[in-house]
A and B are shown apart, each in its own frame.
Chain A
Amino acid sequence: MSPAYEPVIGLEIHVQLATRTKMFCGCELSFGDPPNTHTCPVCLGLPGTLPVLNARAVQFGLLIGLALGSQIAERSLFHRKNYFYPDLPKGYQISQYDVPLCSGGGLGDVRIHRVHLEEDAAKLVHVGESGRIHGSDRSVVDFNRGGTPLVEIVTEPDLTSPEQAREWLTLLRATLKRLGVSDVNMEEGSLRCDANVSVRPVGSDQLGTKTELKNMNSFRYLERGVRAEIERQIGLRQSGEPVVQETLHFDPASERLTPLRSKEEAHDYRYFPEPDLVPLVITSEMRGQAELPELPAARAERFQRELGLSTERARELAFRTELGDYYERALAGDGHDPITVANWIPLLVERIGSDADPAESEVTPEALATLAGMVAAKEVARDAAREVLTQLVADGGDPRVIIEQRGLESISAEDGGLAEIIERAIAADPDAAEQVRQGNMRAVGPLVGFVMKETKGRADGGEITRLIRERVSSGS
């Protein structure tokens, strides 16, 4: 029997910074604008032009480094990374190399190796059937993206499963979003993730040969791509074949990994210090101006500690900044129970779509909190409340008014009407009532269903069950 293998995963994340202008020139950043409308002599690499570093990008890089607990270099350097490609107008990319802005640090249980600043390449569009450079008829270049400020975050190989990789990236994304340094939109490419994957026999402390996975432009693809690669590598190892170090392209449609042939062929980038820029010096004044907001990891911890949420719920809300913000606004009113309100946020998300910001929905945080509170106080039954939520999502409004208008107030035990309906339920299905009396609780279902139907969901299911049991065991 062959040994069991465990995966070792490290991530390299490119983050487009949400500065107003590009890294080394005054062109505005854009997305989706007509090609080559945000260019100038500098970002087109025209002869005689020189780069000038964007101070805001440095500030953002510094914020990221501080948020990740990295060591900030007082003096860091830019290098030229040399290779020929049509998306690289100067024939080199200006990037930080052996003296990056930030080193070390960590986020959650993953250590950070380094964080550095660089410029993005332009966008190459391959015209033709394949959509890739080989086999395309011709290629055109859109320089709008060229020169966009990027931060590259490199983790240590501390991740051990595709699920963990996905969850960690979610945390990183939330952290960056909270810092306000990036749009962090994977589909639009403002957050891009490559993964270095290797496998090794369980218990081994040696790293196996790694491959680099590119093009995983969503959280789902990251998880799937890494899973597919782990399976492929384990398959190779089990059949005694070696893993070859290479760069792989993940095709989400087929979930297949194909070796990437491209600029990666040339491995000698001939890095040397960029003579057109002076060293980047971080002053104590710049550090003083970098104020960190409460970050998602700390927020999740606070939700657990102060509000009593479960780990899972706390992370669910805190790792998506907009959910956490909405949640805290909902709690702002008097007397709302944090756990109750927290439980209603996923129900709202379910209705508005998992990527939508609830703040932009028709449902105000106050409305959701009120509705949750009414359910907790048994003023409205859970099923009826779900209906109210659906209407809130569609039309907005005040849940109390909706409940009153639609007559959805809960019918309680004290309400004589409910006892009468229970009588009718038992009369309609005496066999079930008898079985319940004998202790077969599964038989209660049809009886509860009858009552729910008759009350149009206004009664609480648990309450009905309790009343039926009381009624049948008291005989008569």
Chain B
Amino acid sequence: MSELIDLSAAEAAKLTRAGELDPAELFDAYRARAAADELNAFTWVADAVPDGDGVNGSPLGGVPLAVKDLFCTEGVPSQAGSRILEDYRPPYTATVVAQLAAAGAPLLGKTNQDEFAMGSSNENSAYGPVLNPWDRTRVPGGSSGGSAAAVAAGLAPWAIGTDTGGSIRQPAALCGIVGLKPTYGACSRFGMIAFASSLDQAGPLTRDVTDAALLLRHMIGHDARDSTSVPFPGEIAEPNAVDLRGIRLGVPEELAGDGIEPGVLESFRATLALAERLGATVEPCTLPHAPHALSAYYLIAPAEASANLARYDGVRYGLRVDAPDLISMYTRTRSAGFGPEVKRRIMLGTYALSSGYYDAYYGTAQKVRTMISEDFRAAFECFDFIVTPTSPWTAFELGAKTADPLAMYLNDFCTVPMPLAGIPAISIPSGLSDGLPVGFQLAGPAFSESRLLDAAFALEQAIGFDGSAARR
């Protein structure tokens, strides 16, 4: 069984397609591990392979998939880490999940997350924190912490999550796996319980870059039910680059200096040196407005969230706390149903949109957002990719930052500019610092996913990161 678990998803899919591995056996092996989950990574695990077509001869070969809780799955709890949606079972399935199931990745289970994807440590889940498989006293990152921990610990061959300000890349970094946030619009958002609509994107969390490419290939595409989705130009190819010759990497001084933990910086620099040995040129670059990204993000995302979360009012579904009148019912339901971080962001967002403050806050944030996009556009005239550490630090201890929301927000310092610009970015493990994984981030222009994956693949091969310790 341990052999099975050590196969990457792509390897396992190749074997099932060749008839050398029974997909049911693979599913059961993972099902058993997920059911015995000690990390609190799963909030729901399937009993059996869902009835389904698409396994035999399908491109994804029946390799089971862990799905972040906020993806709607028909008849299966989809709670988005919130008490207000406790045991909520949607009547339909998210497009991305349905596409992957049709391509042969059946649903293994739903993974824990920060409530409504608001958090960077997975400590904001109403269903308890997720533990980092590298060190169970530490956080896995967030908000897709359950997906990252499940893949790192070998409880799932691969997983999907969502990234709004870093929610795929940061937990991938902290758990020593690969996480990719696609170009905004590449994947349908239909059926993703929304946090911030103009930023949310689904993406893969996988053990290696090849798995990420394979999963992403079946996630992309225009969806008639999501007006913001677009047809992806070209296909996602299987990455196969052996070097980085001719690749120009830009290192933004704003995101790769101050505030980065020494161990993280050391791993980052070692990776840059490796990239140069692979033929890349590495030069400093500038993203002048990047230092303001975090402020803009923490206005735009809460503003959109304050409206997106208004539907949880106790009228039609989810939690309802009865009261003698309508307003009290709203107040009691939402007071009981939302956690403190969600309430904080609803208040921030409501304030930012209020009459008299809109221009100063939301309006200014949108202008900053445009400037950040412009910064990237200018940088990509000189560089193929922008590279940064994914997270300023490695996995921190549970509870270490919960008392200080602003310190927690700094987690997203390096990951927030990309979703504001709508561009893709990938995090790959670059090594360990004091026994904890460090993430290396590459960001490219819109729809450059194939090139991004290729570059990440070449680096991955050269780094030779071994994540098996977390799967014990």
A: residues with CB less than 8 A from B are: 41, 44-53, 80, 82, 84, 86, 89-92, 133, 141, 267-268, 270-272, 275-278
Contact = CB atoms under 8 A, between A and B. Distances in A.
B299 to A, nearest CB: 11
A91 B310 contact: yes
Contacts of B72: 46-48
A41 to B, nearest CB: 5
A283 to B, nearest CB: 16
Interface string B330-374: 100000000000000000001001110010001000000000000
A41 B192 CA distance: 13
B328 interface: no
B91 A41 contact: yes
A431 to B, nearest CB: 80
Contacts of A45: 311, 316
Contacts of B307: 80, 82, 90-92, 270, 272
A476 B9 CA distance: 124
Given A47-B88, A84-B313, A272-B303, A53 B190 contact: no
A141 B315 contact: yes
Interface in B74-92: 78, 80, 85, 88, 90-92
A295 B54 CA distance: 57
Contact of B225 (A50, A133, A268): A50
Contacts of A52: 224-227
19 contacts: A41-B90, A46-B316, A46-B317, A47-B72, A48-B71, A48-B72, A48-B90, A82-B353, A84-B310, A89-B311, A89-B315, A91-B307, A92-B310, A270-B350, A270-B354, A270-B358, A275-B198, A276-B228, A278-B228
From A50, A82, A271, name the one whose CB has the most chain B CB atoms within 10 angstroms. A50
A271 B304 CA distance: 11
A49 B197 CA distance: 11
B193 interface: yes
Nearest to B197: A275
Contacts of A47: 72, 78, 80, 85, 88, 90, 193-194, 311
Nearest to B226: A50
Interface residues of B, number: 44
Nearest to A270: B353
A82 B197 CA distance: 15
A130 to B, nearest CB: 15
B304 A48 contact: no
Contacts of B78: 47-48
Given A52-B224, A53-B227, A46 B90 contact: yes
Contacts of B306: 82, 270
Given A41-B92, A90-B310, 15 more contacts: A45-B311, A45-B316, A50-B190, A53-B227, A82-B307, A82-B310, A84-B310, A86-B315, A268-B355, A270-B307, A272-B304, A272-B353, A276-B227, A276-B228, A277-B228
Interface in B268-327: 303-304, 306-307, 309-311, 313, 315-317, 326
A450 B78 CA distance: 89
Contacts of A89: 311, 315-316
A270 B305 CA distance: 13
B331 to A, nearest CB: 10
A275 B307 CA distance: 11
B91 A46 contact: yes
B21 interface: no
Which label, helix, strand, loop or mixed, suits the secondary structure of the B interface?
A: loop
Interface in B218-276: 224-228
A272 B316 contact: no
B94 interface: yes
A54 B191 CA distance: 20
A277 B224 CA distance: 12
Contacts of A49: 190-191
Nearest to A44: B316
Contacts of A44: 316
A90 B311 contact: yes
B326 A86 contact: yes
Contacts, number: 102
Contacts of B110: none
B313 A91 contact: yes
B191 A48 contact: yes
B193 A51 contact: no
B90 to A, nearest CB: 6
A91 B305 CA distance: 12
B375 to A, nearest CB: 22
Task: Kindly list the 10 A-B residue pairs having the minimum CB-CB distance in the complex, ordered from nearest.
Answer: A91-B310, A275-B197, A270-B353, A275-B198, A47-B193, A48-B191, A48-B72, A45-B311, A268-B355, A48-B193
B315 A48 contact: no
From A53, A91, A133, A267, name the one whose CB has the most chain B CB atoms within 10 angstroms. A91
A267 to B, nearest CB: 8
Nearest to A274: B197
A240 B304 CA distance: 47
A89 B312 CA distance: 9
A49 B189 CA distance: 8
B303 A48 contact: no
A86 B313 CA distance: 8
A90 to B, nearest CB: 5
Contacts of B316: 44-46, 89
B143 to A, nearest CB: 16
A268 B355 CA distance: 6
B311 A91 contact: yes
B315 A268 contact: no
A263 B357 CA distance: 22
A49 B350 CA distance: 22
Contacts of B71: 48
A280 to B, nearest CB: 10
Contact of A268 (B197, B226, B303, B354): B354
A272 B310 contact: no
Interface in B148-200: 189-194, 196-198
Contacts of B315: 86, 89, 141
Nearest to A46: B90
Contacts of B362: 272
Contacts of B193: 47-48
A50 B197 CA distance: 10
A248 B319 CA distance: 35
Nearest to B85: A47
A82 B355 CA distance: 12
A120 B326 CA distance: 21
Nearest to A272: B353
A228 to B, nearest CB: 30
A446 B424 CA distance: 98
A270 B355 CA distance: 6
B112 to A, nearest CB: 17
Contacts of B326: 86, 133
A276 B191 CA distance: 13
A53 B224 CA distance: 10
Contacts of B192: 48
Contacts of B85: 47
B8 to A, nearest CB: 30
From B189, B224, B316, name the one whose CB has the most chain A CB atoms within 10 angstroms. B316
B343 to A, nearest CB: 15
A89 to B, nearest CB: 6
A256 to B, nearest CB: 26
Contacts of B91: 41, 46
A48 B225 contact: no
From A45, A49, A84, name the one whose CB has the most chain B CB atoms within 10 angstroms. A49
B227 A84 contact: no
A104 B94 CA distance: 42
B25 to A, nearest CB: 33
Contacts of B304: 272, 275
Nearest to A90: B311
A141 B316 CA distance: 10
A48 B88 contact: no
A276 B317 contact: no
B221 to A, nearest CB: 15
B422 to A, nearest CB: 12
